[in-house]
Chain A
Amino acid sequence: MSVEAESTAPVATRVYKPAMATGWWTHKRHYFWYMVREFTALPMAAWLLWFLIEIQRSGSVKTFRPGTSTAFVIFSFICLLFALYHSVTFLGLAGVIIHIKALDRPVPPRAIVVTMFGLWLVASIVIGAVLIGFGR
């Protein structure tokens, strides 16, 4: 083969950056929990949609049916686990995301995380007390 023919021959392309395998997130525990964190959105969205439907059904005493079945409790319990995981991972990252200063000094990330978890506790107590208090 001549030199000219060699230079005009199609060059096979090489993939230097292989595509990620679909199941890459199953290879390491850290990746798996990252995907679980991303997935938490789905059950939380499902629960909120149910809640919206329940509000809509409250429009008439005939259609009012608060969820009482075992299936609903199991569904809510599963959603609760995902919601708790979302809370822990999201609020745990607050120290990395939020940068604020107090008295011209940056607030330590640990203090921000502790504050966020404290806010979570206070919000939970207040909302829980209101929901239960009005039910009495």
Chain B
Amino acid sequence: MNQKTERAPKVALSHLFWWFMFAQGGGLAALVLPVHILVQGVLGPLGVVPVADRHYDTWISILGNPIVKLYLLVLIALPFFHFAHRLRYLLVDLGVPAAKSVPAQVIFYGGAVAVTLVAVWVLLTTAPISLG
């Protein structure tokens, strides 16, 4: 008897997750990172404009806001999932095929997860949460 076995298509959830993180991280970095670097890294230190992170009291009170904490977490953590993929393939393109291997994936994407955890810890321990 010819018995056909039909299998339901397997959804590549892991693949979907990492591509989602790659795209969102890249999009976020593209939309908001240049202005942060321009204002906080160039114009502020040069004294061209006053910036929130120049004075301790102002900066620490802003950092205490939970919405700011959440924004900073997303701003810092999400792009690292994009960077992990980009840097891994940069190595592949430079002639390092080992960057495609599973251990390399663990190192790069694990690095992004580690940065996320460190960012959570830093944001929770640096300034006490205040709604004021």
Residues of A within 8 A of B (CB): 19-20, 22, 25, 35, 38-42, 44-45, 47-49, 51-52, 54-56, 58-59, 61, 64, 66-69, 72-73, 75-77, 79-80, 83-84, 86-87, 90-91, 97, 119-120, 123-124, 127-128, 130-136
Contact = CB atoms under 8 A, between A and B. Distances in A.
B129 interface: no
B87 A41 contact: yes
Contact of A135 (B44, B86, B94, B126): B44
Contacts of B37: 47, 76, 79-80, 83
Contacts of A66: 44-45, 53-54, 59
B46 A128 contact: no
Contacts of A77: 41-42
Contacts of B40: 51, 76, 131
In terms of DSSP, what is the predominant structure of the interface of chain B? helix
B96 to A, nearest CB: 9
Interface of B: 23, 26-27, 29-42, 44-46, 49-56, 58-60, 62-63, 72, 75-76, 79-80, 82-83, 86-87, 89-90, 93-95, 115, 118-119, 122-123, 125-127
A122 to B, nearest CB: 9
Contacts of A69: 45
B50 A123 contact: no
Given A128-B39, A131-B52, A135-B58, A87 B30 contact: yes
Contacts of B83: 41-42, 44-45
